Amino acid sequence: MVRVLFVCLGNICRSPMAEAVFADLVDRAGMAARFDIDSAGTAGYHVGQRPCPGTLRILEQVGLPCAGRARRVTTADLTRFDYLIGLDTTNRDDLTHLLAQNNLPPKASRLLDFAPEIESKDVPDMYYHGNFEEAYALISAGCRGLLAHLTKAHNLRAA
């Protein structure tokens, strides 16, 4: 089982979108049983809230479900998940700091590290700029690259 946690600031825009996109890619690849996929935020501003309307709108347009509610990264997440995927550099750095505080090895990456064709490595925060279409395109590219990386790294095949 490969455990992947997507992380942004509040867990209402980018990380739930990444969770939904990645889960769909994994499902379409026939590998859903091989993954545990979730999302969380580094801050607790929106705990318990549904994803923001823009995220839900984009996901609905592409036919992806999104039933989760915002939650904050926990200490247990740091050990449970194999891959901590920040949606931008600040999220990745916050995760790296949390891992170090808990004497855990570094295992945080940025999602767009897995999309070498994209120059910027940060998915802009739609909460502030509102461009959900751009974020969806970036997240989709990063998720495709992440799945390719994990498939190779773990020698995964469809169940």
Task: Per residue of the chain (159 residues), give pLDDT as tens.
Answer: 999 999 999 999 999 999 999 999 999 999 999 999 999 999 988 889 899 999 999 999 999 988 889 999 999 999 999 999 999 999 999 999 999 999 999 999 999 999 999 999 999 998 877 889 999 999 999 999 999 999 999 999 876
What is the number of structural domains in the chain? 1
Strands 83-86 and 35-41: unpaired
Among 14, 71, 92, 110, the one annotated catalytic = 14
Q: How far apart are CA 7 and CA 127, in angstroms?
A: 14
Partners of 4 in beta bridges: 37, 83
Among 52, 66, 125, 143, the one annotated catalytic = 125
Q: What domain range is 122 assigned to?
A: 2-153
Known catalytic residue: 14? Answer: yes
Please check whether residue 158 lies inside any domain of the structure. Answer: no
Q: How far apart are CA 52 and CA 12, in angstroms?
A: 5
Q: What is the CATH number of the domain that holds 82?
A: 3.40.50.2300
